[in-house]
Structure 1
Amino acid sequence: MKITLIQIGKTEEKYLLEGIDKFEKRLKHYINFSSITIPALKNTKNMSVTEQKKKEGELLLKLIHNSDHLILLDEQGKEFGSSAFSAYLNNHMNKAVQHLVFVIGGPYGFDSRVYDRANEKISLSKMTFSHQMVRLFFTEQLYRSFTILKGEPYHHE
């Protein structure tokens, strides 16, 4: 199985970049993992929120293949604890899903066409975090999930 994380807009804070890089490097020991950054839209002052979501959605959907299992990181999605999330990933591996694609949307969420294409939605929390922080939290949780599956001593319950 391969896992890809797609995000809109680059991460700028150095401390977040260092953390994301740390967990992405660790993940490569467990799974074929990659991340793709779609550049933030330019000249959005004259665009409505709907127009912004539509343009972001077009860019995003160009990267998705029919066979991809698309999971949106969305505040309305299903929540998991760390152990349950690792079981969720394991379930997808057991089903022989070839490619899980997780997406962190732009500041206003996703266009309706992206929601229509998505296979699932998950939420990291009921709290709101910056999109840049979500990238770190998500890569850490992916790493944590694989250490749980391997019985390694990273996660404590």
Structure 2
Amino acid sequence: MRLILLCVGRCKAGPETELSQRYIERANAAGRALGFPRVELREFDESRAREPALRKAAEAKTILASLSPGARLVALDESGALVSSREFSAFLGKTRDEGAPALTLAIGGADGLSGEILEAASPIVSFGRMTFPHQLVRIMAAEQLYRAMTILAGHPYHRD
């Protein structure tokens, strides 16, 4: 199953980009034997619309247009469910076992994700009730993908 980390907003070269890439590379190495050939990072420019609602609507169109047929969509949003790393790992394994061709994790821009994306997503996952910059959420999502691979593989990286 393909894993796609879809990000509204582009990261500039620097430590945030390097760290997210490091976790993506680790997830790729760990995931191949588990039926996850690679984590693909897709970045889109933030909308330049003047109002937040218009920006979110334009970004939603871009997100929805980029989804592969049959792909599951996971929205990363502060309004979502709080899940443990083991629960997230189990979700990835179950989605793979059900035959989904791809799973897309969507990270919104500065204004977050639109209601249209939140309605299309199942599940909506939160890293906490605080607001985080999208660059940090990208790192956290990449690390959780790597951690999920290690949990599925029985590797000791994750400790309860």
TM-score, normalised relative to structure 2? 0.89
Say how many residue pairs are matched. Answer: 154
**Alignment partner of 1:35 is 2:41:** yes
Counterpart of 1:8, as a letter, is V
1:52 counterpart = 2:55: yes
Counterpart of 1:94 (choices 93, 97, 116) is 97
The alpha carbon displacement at 1:127 in A equals: 2.1
Cα distance, 1:54 vs. partner? 1.2
Once the 2 structures are TM-superposed, how far is the Cα of residue 13 of structure 1 from its aligned partner? Answer: 6.0
Q: Which residue of 2 aligns with 1:18?
A: 18
> How far, CA to CA, are the matches of 2:110 and 2:22 in structure 1?
25
Where do 1:1-150 residues align within 5 Å? 1-12=1-12, 14-29=14-29, 30=31, 31=36, 32-42=38-48, 44=49, 47-150=50-153
Task: Measure, in 2, the Cα distance between the counterparts of 1:90 and 1:53.
Answer: 31
Corresponding letter in the other structure for 1:11: C
3-state secondary structure, aligned to 1:75:
strand
- Give, in angstroms, the shift of residue 120 of structure 1: 2.2
How far off is 1:65 after superposition?
3.4
**CA apart distance, 1:24:** 0.9
CA distance in structure 2 between the partners assigned to 1:40 and 1:156 by the alignment: 37
CA distance in 2, matches of 1:13, 1:79: 30
Partner of 1:144, secondary structure, is helix
RMSD over aligned CA atoms reads 1.5
Measured in 1, the distance between the counterparts of 2:57 and 2:87 equals 33
1:93: Cα distance to partner?
Answer: 1.6
3-state SS of 2:60 partner: helix
Instruction: Structure 1 unaligned segments of length 5 or more: list them.
Output: none
Deviation at 1:90, TM superposition (A): 1.3
Which sections of structure 2, spanning at least 5 residues, go unmatched?
A: none
Q: With the length of structure 1 as denominator, give the TM-score of the two structures.
A: 0.90
What's the offset of the Cα at 1:40?
2.1
The 2-side partners of 1:101 and 1:113 are apart by: 15
Q: Which amino acid aligns with 2:9?
A: G
Q: Structure 2: how far apart are the matches of 1:136 and 1:99?
A: 20
